[in-house]
Chain A
Amino acid sequence: MTDGLKSAVPPTSEPAFDASRSDAPTSRWLWWGGSIVALALLVWWILTQMTGTAFLAQALNGLSFGAVLFFLASGFTLIFGLMRITNLAHGGFYLVGGYIGISVVRATGNFFFAMLVSAVSIMLLGLVTERVLLRPIRGLEKPEVLLTIGLTFVLGDLSLAIWGGDPTPIPKPDFLNGALNIGGFIYPRYRLFVIACAVVVGAILFWVEKKTRWGAMVRAGVDDRETVAALGINIKAVFTGAFMFGAFLAGFAGVIGGAFLTLLPGQDFEVLLFALAVVIIGGLGSLKGAALGVVIVGLIDSFGKALIPELSFFTLFAPMAIILVLRPRGLLGRK
C-alpha cells in the first residue's frame, strides 16, 4: 500500500508493441483521404434529406450545443491531463451552476452577474472537492473516479431538494432574445452568442496554454509532474488551480447552457455523457481534441435528432464505437 505522490509517478509510456498500428505516411494519407470522402458522402446524403437552410440551421444548432460542451469538456480534459483525475462530477457542477444562475437571475435580474456568481461558486465547490475529498486519495485513479460519481449523486439530489424537479430555463437578457435575420436566414440570437463565446474562450485558452507562464506550467505538468515539482514549482497548487478553473468553466457552462437547454434533474448525467463522448472521440487530455470533439459531437447530435429522432442518443454510439476500436485514445489523444 504505497499511497500518496510516490505512487503517482506516471509509468513510462507503454512499449509500442502494437504492430497493428503503423504511422507510416501512406497509411496516414489513406486514413485522412478515407475520412474526407466518407464525410463528403455523409454531407451529400444529409443534403438530399433536407433543404440548404434547414441544413445550416441544424449545423448551427449542433455548433451551439457543441459550444456549451466545449466549456465542460475543456475543463474536464484539463483536469484529466494534469492530475489524471476523471472528474465525473463535472456534470453535477454544470447542473448546480445552472441552478445557482437561476436563483441569481431571479434575485438580481442580471444575467451576466449570474454567470459570474455561478462560475465563482462552482469554483469554490471545486476547491472544496479537490482539497477535502480528493486530496486524501490522490494518485489512486479508480477511487478518485468513484468518489466523483458519488458526489454527482449528492449534488443532483440536493439540487432536486432545493430547486425542485420542474424543467426551468434561465431567463435570457433582452438583447439576446429573439432572432437575427441575415439575408432571409433567421436564427436565434442567443445561440449565435453562445457560439461566439465558445470561440472567444477557446482562443483565450489556446493562447494561455501556448504563450503564458501558467500555460507552460500546465503543459510541463501534463508531461512530467515529478520534474516540474523538482524545479521548484508548487505542483499541488497548480493542481488545485487547474481543478478550480475546470470547475469555474463548468459553472459558467451551467448558466450559458441552462438558458437554452433548460435545467432539469438528470441533466447532470446527460451532459456528462456528451462530455465523455467528446473526450472519447477527440482524445483525453488535449485541448485540441476537446475542440474537435465538441464540433463532431454537436453536429452528430443535432443532425441525428433531425433525421432519426427515435435514435437520437444512439447516433453518438456508432462513431464512438468505431473510434474506440480503431483509436482507443481518441482522434487527437496521445498514446
Chain B
Amino acid sequence: MLRSLSLTARVKLGLAAAGIGLGVAAPYIFDRFVIGLISLALIAGLFAQSIDLLGGYAGLITLGHAGVSGTAAYGVGYMASKAGAGFTAQIAVGFLAGMTAALIFGVMAMRSDGVYFIMVTLAQGMIVWGLSIRLFRITGAENGLTGIPRPPAVELYWQYYYLTLVVVVLCWALLGIVVNSPFGTSLKGLRESETRMRMLGYNTTGQKLYVFLIAGFFATVSGILLVYLNGFISPSTVILAASAIGVLEAILGGIGTLVGPMIGAFIIVFVQNVVSIYVSRWPTLMGTLFIVVVLFARRGLVGAISDGWNKWLHRNDAPVSQEPVLTSSNRTAGP
C-alpha cells in the first residue's frame, strides 16, 4: 500500500507518524513547564487552524476569532466559578455559548468580503472584549473568573496534556476531512473569486456562514481546552491581540495548509514564553514580526519548505507554478 503512494505522500506520512510519536513520548522526555507550553501550543495551533480554515482556505481573514473561542471559555468559566455547575453542564454551556457567538457573528459577516470581512470581525472581537470588561456579574471584569478546576480524570498536567493531544489530533483529522471535501474545494473557489462562484450557482452567502460555523466549532473546542488548561479566564484571552496572534501564527507557519498554523503556533508560543523572560516588550516584537512576515514571508514556513521540496523533486522539469494564497489580489468589488 505504501508503495502506491508518491514520495511526497510518504514523506508526509512519515512526518505525521514521527509527530504523533513525539507527542505521545513528550511527557517522558520534558519537564512540567515544557509540557505545559506544548499543551498551550497545541491549543493555540487548533485555534490558528480554525482561523486558517476561514483565512487560508475561504479567503476570509478574521481578526475577531478570539471573540468566539473566548465566549466559549467564558461560558465554561461562568458555569464553573459563578454557577457551580458540574462538568457536563460547564462544557455544554461552553459549546452553546461559543456556537451562538459563531452563529451571530457569522450572520453579521456573511454578506461582506475581503477587507470588509476583516473590519466586521475585528469589531465583533472588540465588542466581546468590551463586554468581558463591563459585564462584571458574568465575567468578573478585569479580574476575570478564577477557580475553574479540571475534571478529576485529567487533573494532573500530563493527563490533561494527553487529553489535549487526542482532541487536537482528532480535530486536525476532522479539519482535514473538511478541507478535502467538495465543500472544502468550493471554499477555495470562494477565495479565488466569489463572483465566479456565484455565477456557477453557489450560494456564497450560505457557504460563508457554514464555514464560519465550522471554524467557530473548532475555535470553541480550543477555547474550552484553554480555559481548563489555565484554570482561569480574563479579558486578556479575548483581546484583539489574541485574535491577531492566531492570524500571525497561521501566516508564519503557512496559510492555506493545516500543518502550517500548528507549526506557527509552536514557534510563537515558545518564542513568547521564552523571550518574555528576557525582554518585556513582547507586543513590539510581535508587531514587528507581523510586519516582517507580511512583507517578506507571506507563504510562510510550510510554503517555503514545500517550494524547496518541489524544486528538488522536479529539479529536472520545467518550473512548477505555485498556488497563490495571500499573494493573490482578489480585491473587494465596490468603489
A residues contacting B by CB (< 8 A) are: 1-3, 7-8, 10-11, 13-15, 17, 80-81, 84, 86, 88, 133, 136-137, 139-143, 145-147, 149-158, 161, 222-223, 269-270, 272-273, 276-277, 279-280, 284-286, 309-314, 316-317, 320-321, 324-325, 328-329, 333-335
Question: Which of B120, B134, B195, B295 meets A310, CB within 8 Å?
Answer: B134
B298 at the interface (CB under 8 A from A): yes
Q: A143-B298, A153-B290 are in contact. Are A269 and B240 (CB under 8 A)?
A: yes
A-B contact count (CB 8 A): 170
- In angstroms, Cα B127 to Cα A142, docked, is 22
Asked if B63 and A222 make an inter-chain contact with CB atoms under 8 angstroms apart, the answer reads no
How many Å from the CB of B321 to the closest CB on chain A?
9
Asked if B324 and A145 make an inter-chain contact with CB atoms under 8 angstroms apart, the answer reads no
Asked if A325 and B115 make an inter-chain contact with CB atoms under 8 angstroms apart, the answer reads no
B residues in contact with A311, CB < 8 Å: 131, 134-135
Q: Which of A3, A141, A310 has the most CB of B within 10 A?
A: A141
- In angstroms, Cα B247 to Cα A279, docked, is 23
Question: Which of A143, A277, A279, A284 meets B294, CB within 8 Å?
Answer: A143
Main secondary structure of the interface of B (DSSP, over half): helix
B residues in contact with A86, CB < 8 Å: 115, 118-119
Q: Which 4 A-B pairs have the closest CB atoms?
A: A150-B290, A313-B130, A153-B287, A154-B287
B335 at the interface (CB under 8 A from A): yes
Asked if B283 and A157 make an inter-chain contact with CB atoms under 8 angstroms apart, the answer reads yes
A residues in contact with B335, CB < 8 Å: 81, 222-223, 284-286, 333-334
Question: Which of A139, A149, A154, A328 meets B116, CB within 8 Å?
Answer: A328
Question: Which of B119, B251, B326, B332 meets A140, CB within 8 Å?
Answer: B326
Question: Which of A142, A276, A279, A314 meets B114, CB within 8 Å?
Answer: A142
- In angstroms, Cα B204 to Cα A82, docked, is 28
A residues in contact with B251, CB < 8 Å: 146
Asked if B120 and A324 make an inter-chain contact with CB atoms under 8 angstroms apart, the answer reads yes
B residues in contact with A10, CB < 8 Å: 331
Residues 83 to 129 of chain B near chain A (Cβ within 8 Å) = 104, 107-109, 111-112, 114-116, 118-120, 122-124, 126-127
Would you give 13 A-B contacts (Cβ < 8 Å), ordered by A? A17-B198, A142-B61, A153-B244, A153-B284, A153-B286, A154-B288, A269-B126, A276-B119, A280-B120, A284-B334, A312-B134, A320-B123, A328-B112
B329 at the interface (CB under 8 A from A): yes
Q: Which of B123, B289, B324, B334 has the most CB of A within 10 A?
A: B334
Asked if A335 and B329 make an inter-chain contact with CB atoms under 8 angstroms apart, the answer reads no
Residues 180 to 208 of chain B near chain A (Cβ within 8 Å) = 195, 198
Question: Which of A2, A150, A222, A280 meets B119, CB within 8 Å?
Answer: A280
Q: A145-B115, A311-B134 are in contact. Are A2 and B329 (CB under 8 A)?
A: yes
A residues in contact with B130, CB < 8 Å: 273, 312-314
Q: A136-B295, A146-B61, A328-B112 are in contact. Are A141 and B290 (CB under 8 A)?
A: no
Question: Which of A2, A14, A155 meets B333, CB within 8 Å?
Answer: A14
How many Å from the CB of B271 to the closest CB on chain A?
15
